[in-house]
Amino acid sequence: MILMYIESLVLNNFRNYEDQEAEFSPGLNLITGDNGQGKTNLMEAVYYLAAASSFHTHKDADIIMFDRPRAIAEGVYARNGERLTLRGEICREGARRLSVNGVRKKKISEFAGHVSAVVFTPGDLEMIKSGAAVRRAFMDGAISQLRPRYAGILAEYNRHLAQKTRILKDAGLNPSLLHTLDVFNHGMAVCGARLIRYRRSYSLGLERHAAEIYSRISGGRERMSVAYKTIDETGAQDSAEELFHRLLSVFNSGKQTEMTAAACLYGPHKDDLVVQIDGRQARAFASQGQARTAALALKLAERDMFHEDAGDYPILLLDDVLSELDGARRGYVLGRIEQGQVFITSCDAAAPVIHAGRVFYVQSGRITEI
């Protein structure tokens, strides 16, 4: 049973969409058109209203059409029989404005989480071979949608991290700033302890789901495992307070090293999600096919975990990813997306997918149903 989906979307000066609107099927929506016409931008707008962030850029200003002061994305979503109007106004100068049913939301945690979306792009297929930052971003995005409070904790941690980084870099010019390091170490320890607990819990579920999916795709010939690697490898059941004291101890003992390096060397911003295949670290030893299967397993596991936790399926956004998969992996994905709302982008209007509820053609930022 479909419980959550986007009914309609209005875009104004959002990327290359000057003034467009569209209505969607609660099932499968196929978005076609040549490259560079706006297919990914449409997916980005749907995701932005779910997560209050882009999967394509870290800078909100990048979303705004060139030489325009602001961009607007507004979507009408259905969830559990109710309708929600989510609106994001991204301003080139000043703070963005987020609202739900016309009510302004000042915090991300108050906006995100009303609806959820899982996005899968060709770049995600490289996440296993990429650096730790990519896998952290995957984990942070997934947890933020399941637990909106997490996004606020992460934002606060990153503010402390940015301030501490500036102090360490400017210490040569202004040594007096170094006495404030203890304040930011304390703030990072408070937030970091909470981040670690969320990440540890999520990684346990991720391993269970992803391992099963990987086994099915590989026909049971290979085994995948997932482990969260943080600053402290022990104490998996530690409380936030215990983790706080451990982090603070690490920060204090490493203070001189960080001052010498003029960089923040310790903390959850260095964590990783370690993936192994048959006991060997996938980043170093997996073949291209194994790495892609592992990435696919992680993204599908993210969707399954949301369904297990929330009882409905998140909106699934497959941005030109099917063309990057071989026949077996493509068939596996298509066999798992019959539930919930799905968006698939493709350059081919006759793409070999299950029958779409609606098919759209995008050209130069204009959306036409065909």
Three-state SS annotation for 82-136 = EEEEEEEEEECCCCCEEEECCEEECCHHHHCCCCCEEEECHHHHHCCCCCHHHHH
247 within a domain of the structure (yes/no): yes
Please state whether beta strands 315-319 and 280-281 pair in parallel, antiparallel, or not at all (unpaired): unpaired
Q: What angle do CA 276, 281, 287 make, to 5 degrees?
A: 90
Q: How many domains does the chain have?
A: 2
pLDDT digits (tens, 9 = 90+) for 208-218: 999 999 999 99
The alpha carbon of 40 is separated from its chain's Cα centroid by a whole number of angstroms, namely: 15
Domain boundary among 263, 282, 309: 309
- The 3-state DSSP class for residue 38 equals coil
134: confidence class by pLDDT, cuts 50, 70, 90: very high
Domain coverage including residue 33: 1-116+314-370
Q: Output the pTM of the full model.
A: 0.88
Asked whether residue 15 falls in the same domain as residue 53, the answer is yes
In the chain, the percentage of residues whose pLDDT exceeds 90 is: 69
Q: How far, in Å, CA of 127 to CA of 134, rounded?
A: 6
Asked whether residue 47 falls in the same domain as residue 97, the answer is yes
Polymer length of the chain: 370
Domain boundary among 287, 309, 331: 309
163 within a domain of the structure (yes/no): yes
pLDDT digits (tens, 9 = 90+) for 233-253: 555 568 889 999 999 999 999
121 within a domain of the structure (yes/no): no
pLDDT of residue 112: 79
Residue 275 one-letter amino acid: V
pLDDT of residue 104: 95
Domain boundary among 309, 327, 362: 309
User: Which conformational region is residue 22 in: left (phi greater than 0), alpha (psi within -120 to 50 degrees), or beta?
Assistant: beta
Count other C-beta atoms under 10 Å from residue 170's C-beta: 13
The CATH number assigned to the domain holding 293 equals 1.20.1050.90
217 within a domain of the structure (yes/no): yes
Asked whether residue 183 falls in the same domain as residue 250, the answer is yes
Q: Alpha carbon of 303 to those of 44, 148, 336: distances in Å?
A: 18, 16, 10
Sign of CA dihedral 309, 311, 317, 321: positive
232: confidence class by pLDDT, cuts 50, 70, 90: low
- The pair phi, psi for residue 275, each rounded to 5°, is -110, 130
Beta bridge pairs of residue 118 = 316
195: confidence class by pLDDT, cuts 50, 70, 90: very high
Asked whether residue 202 falls in the same domain as residue 293, the answer is yes
Asked whether residue 241 falls in the same domain as residue 324, the answer is no
Indicate the average pLDDT of the chain: 90
